[in-house]
Amino acid sequence: MFESKDYVLCNGTRIKKSEVCVPVDDRGLCYGDGLFETALIFQGEPTFWEWRIERLERGLDFLQFDKAWIKEALHADLKEEICELIQANHLNSGLGILKIMITRGVGPRGYGFQSANTPWILIQTIPLPAKTIEDFRKSITPIQIGIHPFPVPDNDPYRKHKLLNKVPSVLAKHYADLQSWDDALIIDQSNRLLESSGGNLFWWENGKLCTPPQELGILDGVTRRRIIQLVEREGWQVRYESPTEQRLMKSGGIAITSSIRGWVNVNFLGTKPIPIPDESIQLNQAYWATLET
């Protein structure tokens, strides 16, 4: 009997994780030519599945994967196959992480991909220690963030997709670790704050919830989309703004959203204390409540 997390789906076939073999000339390995998707597993299913499939399809289309292959890969039974994997890994009653990685597959040496026509898909699950949503929520405490000083290009279209090449996020998180922060915000060449190394950015200003617009080159985060939906349902106003460090320092609250941790409040920006308003607490509760209904 295999322990949890021992099975993966590799090109549609369930095998042991130890049996996975990535070809040395796979374009994802050589060039980061591919993308990924991450989801929280709750009650035996990936959360917000329809939105994630939609984002995967947009990303594959952006990378100019064959449209017929996209349709075949993201078939209607994919969720059922993933749920069977979750069950095989004994996560149907607990919490976990689902990760889908898609590369363009094996191709000849060089950047051109005309001859690379067999994409590669790996789907894995990772267990989380918490067994209930309530326990998981309690484990998510306010964080300290800062700003990564090395800018990315303005209005970068590549940042709108979960591409395998996440070097700016990797370096931003490493910089945060060196500063003993929990995370770091990424800035563009116009000194606009975009998002953190692993999540979308929100802040409160004059009683309104603000977030950077996608046009700046940020990821269309699934949790970000759900939070905006909840805010608008409550009749609150969402503003799409281009934040600076000075604006965030004067804000009435800051939060980072991610697929796994949901809404995460920020209590320090650098060394400056950041308040956590009641509205942030309400939004956090409302977000997790949507998963339990």
List, by residue range, all CATH 3.20.10.10 domains of the chain: 140-292
Contact between residue 221 and residue 260 where contact means Cβ atoms under 8 Å apart: no
Report the percent of the chain where pLDDT is more than 70. 98
Residue 1: pLDDT above 70? no
Whether the per-residue pLDDT at 123 is higher than 60: the answer is yes
Report, as an integer, the average pLDDT of 262-276: 97
What number is the average pLDDT over the span 106-112?
91
Q: What is the pLDDT of residues 228-251, one digit of tens each?
A: 999 998 888 899 998 999 999 999
pLDDT digits (tens, 9 = 90+) for 193-217: 999 999 999 999 998 999 999 999 9
User: Is a pLDDT exceeding 50 seen at residue 2?
Assistant: no
Q: Assess whether pLDDT exceeds 50 at residue 76.
A: yes
**What contacts 175, CB < 8 A, 6 or more positions away?**
146, 148, 149, 150, 184
Find the mean pLDDT for residues 73-86: 93
The whole-number pLDDT of residue 292 equals 74
Query: What pLDDT is attached to residue 234?
Result: 85
**Would the pTM count as exceeding 0.75?**
yes
Question: Of 255 and 237, which is predicted with more confidence?
Answer: 255
Q: Is the pLDDT of residue 264 over 50?
A: yes
CATH 3.30.470.10 at 7-128, yes or no: yes
Q: How far apart are CA 65 and CA 163, in angstroms?
A: 13
Residue 238 one-letter amino acid: V
pLDDT, position 5: 55
Chain centroid to CA 163? 11
Is a pLDDT exceeding 70 seen at residue 67? Answer: yes
Per-residue DSSP letter, 118: B
Q: Tell me where in the chain the CATH 3.30.470.10 domain(s) lie.
A: 7-128
pLDDT score, position 293: 66
Q: What is the pLDDT of residue 33?
A: 96
Rg (CA), the chain: 20
Beta strands in 91-240, from DSSP E residues, in sequence order: 95-103, 120-127, 143-147, 183-187, 193-196, 200-205, 208-211, 238-240
pLDDT of residue 171: 98
Beta strand 34-42 with 45-46 is antiparallel
Q: In the numeric block, which tokens belong to residue 25? A: 């000339």
CATH code of the region 140-292 = 3.20.10.10
